[in-house]
Amino acid sequence: MRKVAWITTNKVLAQSLAALIEGYQDLEFEPHLLLNPQQAALDAEVLGIDIAVVEMSGSTSEQIYATRQICENLRKSVPCCCILLLVQQDSQDARAMAMESVADGAADDYVFYDVSLDYLIAKLLSLPTATQNKTHFA
């Protein structure tokens, strides 16, 4: 069972996505809601998270930088965790930071808010397992 953390301050979004993912029992995803982004790295380490879906909320430079810091902290605390950014498609700065984060290894990939549930599930399934990721980050 792969542990998926929804890292966001938007409780309704996290609960909705977690409930939808739980509905696909054959996927073997175990959702966790991490609603305090400042504590997310510690929580992810304690829970042994395999995949972190990090919401990039807001489009100000401070909010974008805060999301980048969350990714970097996760990478330090749980190096084998795959990090998937959830990005606002209408923010050029957020898109640029997402692409930069993937390019330099702070995140593994990103998707936009308006992505279909099927695409999101396919993206989660395509991310490497912790065992595969250990060889990637070794």
Total domains present in the chain = 1
**pLDDT for the residue numbered 36:** 95
7 band by pLDDT with thresholds 50, 70 and 90: very high
What CATH number did the domain enclosing 96 receive?
Answer: 3.40.50.2300
Q: Which residue has the tokens 């959702």?
A: 31
pTM of the model: 0.90
Residue 136 within a domain: no
138 in any annotated domain:
no
Residue 66 falls within a domain, yes or no? yes
**18 within domain boundaries:** yes
* Residue 29 placed within a domain: yes
Q: In what order do the strands lie in the sheet with 109-112?
A: 29-34, 2-7, 51-55, 82-87, 109-112
Residues 22-29 have a mean pLDDT of: 84
What pLDDT is stored for residue 138 in this prediction?
A: 46
Confidence of residue 130 (pLDDT cuts 50, 70, 90): low
Domain hosting residue 43, numbered range: 2-131
Would residue 137 count as lying in a domain?
Answer: no
